[in-house]
């Protein structure tokens, strides 16, 4: 049972006992949480303190009784666990904005319906998939989240990352004043071979208007998006990611490009003896597709040089040649591609950039710089994007391939397809770039 379901279970308990005395410790037990964690998570997921939620629900139900003239105000107040009509009227006035007499006289309206956590946060799922993977739920779009964060690299970096962040949060009264704070984290680098060192970033939610100039702890926004969610022991995270991998293969979703997350609902414990909520980013399968592409002849211009100049020289030369030969726009007949090795950062390795346009195999090229080549086809994972998100999408496409157990084909060129209009790269149209990652 994940944390969302636990809060839903606590709301069931509250609703069943709405006309009785409710012990909040018992409500927390229904959610399998300590009272302090229950109060914080209830507030984070519902937007209401648990006492406030109960009071508003009782006022809502009492108004229905008053309108139906079911009983005297005194008896209705007692029915919903108010000590008397005066206490009820005071609470009523605070929540509704006037006393019950004025409310009825002016025919005002007040509604506070029961909150359904599952309806609020979860999408309806395929029953067969839910039967096979009852622990994995699909969350609706998560809104962007503003967080303070700190990254640490080393052995067990979670401990140091959260220590610095939580000490900072305590010094800035965030864990005291912000009762709805939530703790997230995620790996930022892979573990080095034969080493336990890797990077980890710890995050805590903050208010939208919060700002900080701290040298260590920085502020940013997590973009949000759709997620598959499950709750597991922190020590069982590797197995949970493997389970996600099996789930996504038979679902209607694919691995998304937004941030993978671990939520430490109960706070951070350096003994790693608690459960965490895992969020795997997902998207509709249409975001990525697998295509088979045939070999094709291209006119190409290869430039070896600096990373910030070679692309401009290659494209400038190719587009000038293409324009001279009547090739001005992207079309079914002519497509523009690029291939480069700028992901290689080692010293002494020359970096090159190739700009290409597809041509008819009968075309003869007599040019010192423009060469005719065959662009080898094959099977590719493809995705549409724009220039701003290009590096990110390359990384995510590779992560997707590895996650799904597919293998990259080293014998076929990676490529980008660029949109060209009137002889110019046209970045103001979205999407204007399509990436192709070769797979076996």
Q: Domain of 358: which CATH number?
A: 3.20.80.10
Contacts 24+ apart (CB under 8 A), 129-132: 129/247, 129/250, 129/251, 132/250
Q: How far is CA 242 from CA 46, 197, 237, 398, in A?
A: 31, 21, 9, 17
Are residues 281 and 165 part of one domain? yes
Are residues 335 and 298 part of one domain? yes
Are residues 305 and 170 part of one domain? no
Residues 357-376: tens digit of each pLDDT? 999 999 999 899 999 999 99
CA distance 407 to 337: 23
Are residues 180 and 157 part of one domain? yes
Does any domain span residue 235? Answer: yes
Sign of the dihedral defined by the CA atoms of residues 178, 184, 189, 194, in that order:
positive
Query: pTM here?
Result: 0.64
Contacts 24+ apart (CB under 8 A), 336-345: 336/417, 336/418, 336/419, 336/420, 337/298, 337/375, 337/415, 337/416, 337/417, 337/418, 338/311, 338/314, 338/415, 338/416, 338/418, 339/413, 339/414, 339/415, 339/416, 340/310, 340/311, 342/307, 343/394
Which backbone phi and psi does 97 adopt, to 5 degrees? 105, 0
Q: How confident is the model at residue 344 (pLDDT cuts 50, 70, 90)?
A: very low
Q: How confident is the model at residue 13 (pLDDT cuts 50, 70, 90)?
A: very high
Residues 208-244: tens digit of each pLDDT? 888 888 989 999 999 888 999 999 998 899 899 889 9
| DSSP state letters, 222-273 | E--EEEEEEEEEGGGHHHHHHHHHHHHHHSSEEE-SS--EEE-TT---TT--
CB-hemisphere CA count at 13 Å for 216?
A: 16
Does any domain span residue 123? Answer: no
Are residues 243 and 152 part of one domain? yes
Residue at a domain's end among 285, 307, 327: 285
Closest to 170 in 3D by CA, of 204, 121, 125, 220: 204
DSSP letter assigned to residue 84: S
Closest to 417 in 3D by CA, of 321, 325, 332: 332
Query: Which tokens go with 77?
Result: 């107040």
Residues 130-186: tens digit of each pLDDT? 889 999 999 988 889 999 999 999 988 999 999 999 999 999 888 765 567 899 999
Are residues 258 and 340 part of one domain? no
Are residues 34 and 61 part of one domain? yes
Are residues 276 and 340 part of one domain? no
Are residues 78 and 213 part of one domain? no
Are residues 185 and 65 part of one domain? no
Residue numbers of the domain that contains 392: 294-439
Residue at a domain's end among 221, 253, 285: 285
Q: pLDDT value at position 278?
A: 95
Q: Domain of 11: which CATH number?
A: 1.10.10.60
Are residues 376 and 272 part of one domain? no
Are residues 369 and 350 part of one domain? yes
Over 70: is that where the pLDDT of 264 sits?
yes
Residue at a domain's end among 56, 83, 105: 105
């Amino acid at each position: 049972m994940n944390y969302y379901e636990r809060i839903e279970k606590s709301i069931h308990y509250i609703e069943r006992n709405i006309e009785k005395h409710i012990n909040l410790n018992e409500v927390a037990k229904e959610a399998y949480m300590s009272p302090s964690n229950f109060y914080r998570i209830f507030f984070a997921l519902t937007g209401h303190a648990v006492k406030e939620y109960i009071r508003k629900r009782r006022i809502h139900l009492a108004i229905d009784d008053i309108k139906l003239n079911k009983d005297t105000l005194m008896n209705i107040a007692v029915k919903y666990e108010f000590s008397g009509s005066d206490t009820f009227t005071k609470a009523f006035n605070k929540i509704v904005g006037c006393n019950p007499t004025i409310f009825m006289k002016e025919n005002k309206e007040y509604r506070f319906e029961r909150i359904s956590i599952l309806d609020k946060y979860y999408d309806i799922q395929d029953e067969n998939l839910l039967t096979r993977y009852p622990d994995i739920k699909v969350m609706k779009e998560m809104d962007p989240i503003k967080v303070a964060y700190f990254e640490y690299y080393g052995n067990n970096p979670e401990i140091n990352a959260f220590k610095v962040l939580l000490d900072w949060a305590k010094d800035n009264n965030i864990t005291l004043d912000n009762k709805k704070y939530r703790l997230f984290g995620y790996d930022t680098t892979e573990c080095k071979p034969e080493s336990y060192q890797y990077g980890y970033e710890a995050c805590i939610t903050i208010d939208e208007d919060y700002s900080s100039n701290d040298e260590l702890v920085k502020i940013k926004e997590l973009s949000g998006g759709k997620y598959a969610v499950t709750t597991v022991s922190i020590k069982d995270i590797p197995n949970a990611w493997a389970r996600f991998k099996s789930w996504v293969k038979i679902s209607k979703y694919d691995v998304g490009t937004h941030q993978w997350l671990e939520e430490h609902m109960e706070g951070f414990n350096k003994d790693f003896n608690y459960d965490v909520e895992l969020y795997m980013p997902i998207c509709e399968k249409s975001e990525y597709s697998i295509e088979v592409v045939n070999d094709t002849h291209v006119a190409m211009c290869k430039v070896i040089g600096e990373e910030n100049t070679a692309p401009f020289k290659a494209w400038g030369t190719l587009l000038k040649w293409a324009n001279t030969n009547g090739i001005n726009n992207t079309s079914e007949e002519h497509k523009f591609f690029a291939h480069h090795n700028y992901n290689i950062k080692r010293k002494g390795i020359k970096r090159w950039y190739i700009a290409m346009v597809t041509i008819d195999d009968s075309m003869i090229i007599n040019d010192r710089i423009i060469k005719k080549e065959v662009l080898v086809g094959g099977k590719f994972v493809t995705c549409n994007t724009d220039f701003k998100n290009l590096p990110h999408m390359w990384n995510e496409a590779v992560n997707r391939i590895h996650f799904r157990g597919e293998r990259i084909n080293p014998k076929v060129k990676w490529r980008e397809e660029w949109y060209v209009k009137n002889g110019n790269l046209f970045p103001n149209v979205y999407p204007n770039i399509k990436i192709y990652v070769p797979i076996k």
